[in-house]
Structure 1
Amino acid sequence: MKHAITILIMLLVLKLSAQSQINVTIIGTAHSFKKEYQPLQSFNEVQSFIKELSPDMICIEAIPTYDTASLKEIWPNTMRKADQLRDTLENITSDSEQVIVGAQYYSAYDFWNAYYHWFQAKQTEDSLRYFSKYFKDQSSSEFGLMVFPAAQKLGITHLYGIDFRDGEDEFMAANNKVLKKLFFSFKWKPLRVYLKTQKQYKKAEKAGELIEFINGAAFQDSFSALIDDLPKRLPKLEEAKFVKAYWHHRNEVMAERIIQTAQANDAQNVLLTVGSAHVTHIKQFLEKEGHQVTTYGQILNIKNQ
């Protein structure tokens, strides 16, 4: 009897553990794609992959509405526009429900869900009034080229922002100081690695292989290594320590928000689209917390075998 109870408890623990584990698939992206090279890139393949994956939810690199500190730091002018729109929300009429839903999202500071619904809206004369004043063009971003079309095909109505940007101004100031210090103190190796990576990036874009390049472990890991190596390269510069600490903190917060959002929505199969430079650290944190992570780069490697 005692052994039976022990086995029952063990099975219960294993079941609860399986239920709490989240399967996260990460697609690394650029935030802008040059229009002249867009027809060459594998955007359709990414859309097809997302459709086949059929995630329970899609998390994106956008600031959630509850993070007002980040919103105020990054989007103060957009927030003012949202406040103006909110004052006229009751008077909005449109033959497209997506226009109205988008306006409601926008007025609540949920800008990328607003853009998503406006992306789906019928381009009528009535809707174009809102597009011209509030809509941020997504035709060259990862959203307009991959995320929005795929989510629309899946019938997904809401995207979940998980970004964290509070303290971004201080981070950018410290980052600029680090770059200057690296240059004037002749710390050439990290600069050479950075410049080499940028050259490879441009070459891949021209060849129509940018998605594949930025999802490769070599690109993602080299950027992470550059950040992690800064305090060793510049041991006396406090800004170098701050840049590394802030970068890790931002990625950790994003990972925590993925977990919290998935658990709150009872989602086990999650897709994350995020700037490629974030992939390595977010993956490490999620795995440390016991979750299963697969990168798009790993998927491509399996397909190419």
Structure 2
Amino acid sequence: MRRVAAILLCIFAICAVSVAAPEITIEARGIPAGENLIVNPGFEAGTQWPDGWGWSPNQPPSTIWRVWADEALSGARSAGVVNTATSASGYWTQDVALEPGKDYLLTCRALIEDGTILVRADGRDADGKPVKAFDRRAFDRRRASHLLAPTYWKPEWIVDMVRQPWAPVDLFFNTRGDVVPASVSVQIGCYFTAGTMYIDDVYLGPGTIELSYTVTGAPLAQVRLLDRAGELQATSGALNGAERYEGKSDGLPPGEYWCIEATATDGTVSRAWYPEAPEGIE
């Protein structure tokens, strides 16, 4: 009986000192880092409609239409889309020449009353014809904890995300590989959902990533930012059992994988990746 009691006491002691695994939340932002290739990015210049921008709907203006709005994040104007049917889509468009072997950030600020926004870089060859193998997209309806709904998410997966006013919508892409377009058709607008949205401050050019991360849920010993190879990029230092940690790392190059590694005081380790963990890595 004494032996059983001792075993139970030992088990209780082990349970008493163990802690939950740290919980990690990551937010990512694209940060412009060079010349903006977009003409009239704030939709300020123009007479009847904004200079430099086209309009491409798939339904008549009785169903979906564009607006040159007075509401704006910066300046006095923005571009808007009003859509009354889930069968309709419509995009503000602009053709932009690119260079091979480059990383690009396409970003805008969006105010979404309802509906799903599509930010798209659709490849074109030297004659202006579509390059079918080059079609980069990002959807957004308002995020919960993440900056951007990744391109592999279907729009219906994000219908309950909470809207925030004038939030960034980012798309990173590059012109390396077997298929390299001479230009892209930038397309930003409403993607097959009824709703109203406004767009401002469009940017296309070089960009970096800013990661903000919050760690909670356990007494913390340390939080580290690692690259895919496991090399240390940033560290919190000793946290001495703190229950919460907030970190930020900027200037990170696109096209890489970044790991937030949180260690609790009992040695429990949690990891979260941006973007999602590469194949073969947990």
Q: TM-score normalized by structure 1?
A: 0.26
Point out the structure with max Rg over C-alpha. Answer: 2
More strand per residue:
2
Q: Which has the higher contact order (CA 8 A, sep 6+)?
A: 1
